[in-house]
Amino acid sequence: MIEARRLHILRAVADHRTVTAAAAALYLTPSAVSQQLTALEQETGHRLVERGAKGVRLTPAGEILLSHTHAVLAQLERAEAELAAYGAGEAGTVTVAAFATGIAQVVAPSVARLARSAPGIRIRVQDAEGDASLPMVLDRQVDVAVAVEYRGAPAADDPRLTHVPLYAEPFDAVVPVTHRLADGPEVPLAELAKDPWIGPYPGNPCHDVVVLACENAGFQPRLEHSSDDFRAVVALASADVGVALVPRSALRGMDLAGVVVRPVDGVAPTRRVFAAVRRGAEEHPLIRPVLDALHAAAEDA
C-alpha cells in the first residue's frame, strides 16, 4: 500500500530537483525525505530516483508514479473539500500569496468583500512574486496564489494546479520629461533600443514581459538599473537615468513628477494575472468563496 504522504514527498523532489530543497519546502530534514523515498521505493518495488552531482532526477518508474501522483493528490484535495462541505466549513483561515500590485488590485478588495459576505473566513495575505507564490501553493505553504504568467510557469493545464483567470493589463512606457519621445502620443518600443533601461530583476515575471516586448521590437534592452519596486523604477526614470515599461496598475497613485507615461505604439506588452490553487481544492468551501471574490474584484477593477 502506497502512503499518500510519501507521494507528496516524491512530487516535492520532482519540483525542487534536490532532496535538500524539497526538505526545506516540506519543513522536514533531508534525511527524513531520503528515508521516505526509500520507503516508497520499497512499497512500489521500483527505484524511483537517481542522485547525481546536479541533484535528483526521477527514473522512468518514478515518472510513471509521478503522473499518477498528480491525480491521487488532486482527488485527496477533492475529498477534503467534500468533507469540509459536509461539515459546513463556514469558518477558517485561507492564506493568499500575491505580488504587491495584485494585492492592491484584487486581494484587498476581496478581503473587504468577504468580510461582508463570508465573515467566518479569515484571510492571511503574504507578499510574494508570481514565480515564488506558485511553488508555495504546490508545497502547501499557502492555499491560493495570485500570480502572473511568465516563462517557465506551470501551464494552465498543469495537472497539479487549477487556474482562474483574473485580469490582463498593459505596460506603459515611462520616460523622463526631457526624453526625445516625451511629446508623442505613443512610444514606439523600437525607438528605445539604444536607451539605458530600468527594470525588474531576472526571475521577476515582469522582467520577462519587458524583455520579450523588446525582443519583439527587434532588440535586447540594455538594463543598467534594476529594482522590483516600481516606485523606485519611476524615481530613477525621473532622475533621467533610463526608460522603463511599467504595469498600468502599478502607476496608480504614484508621484509621476519628472516622467511622462505613454502607451506603447502597436500591440502593448501585457501581463496576465490569474489565481491558482492545488487541483481539486477549488471547490473547498473555504477556498471557493475566495476565488469568487477575487474574480469579482477583478471584474470591478
- The pLDDT assigned to 103 comes to 95
- The pLDDT assigned to 298 comes to 94
- The pLDDT assigned to 268 comes to 86
Q: Are strands 244-247 and 121-127 parallel, antiparallel or unpaired?
A: unpaired
**Spatial contact of 162 and 276, defined as CB atoms under 8 Å apart:** yes
- pTM of the entire structure? 0.72
Cell of 163: 487556474
Query: For 253, how many CA atoms within 13 A lie in the half-sphere containing its CB?
Result: 5
Counting as low any pLDDT under 70, the low residues of the chain are 85-90
Query: What whole-number distance in Å separates Cα of residue 94 and Cα of residue 264?
Result: 38
- The pLDDT assigned to 115 comes to 92
Cell of 253: 497613485
User: Which residues, at least 6 apart from 208, have a Cβ–Cβ distance to it below 8 Å?
Assistant: 150, 151
Query: What whole-number distance in Å separates Cα of residue 118 and Cα of residue 195?
Result: 50
- The pLDDT assigned to 71 comes to 87
Cα distances from 139 to residues 12, 21, 23, 126, in angstroms, run 7, 11, 10, 15
- The pLDDT assigned to 89 comes to 59
Burial class (CB in 10 A: 0-12, 13-18, 19+), 119: exposed
Q: Are strands 222-226 and 196-199 parallel, antiparallel or unpaired?
A: parallel
- The pLDDT assigned to 91 comes to 73
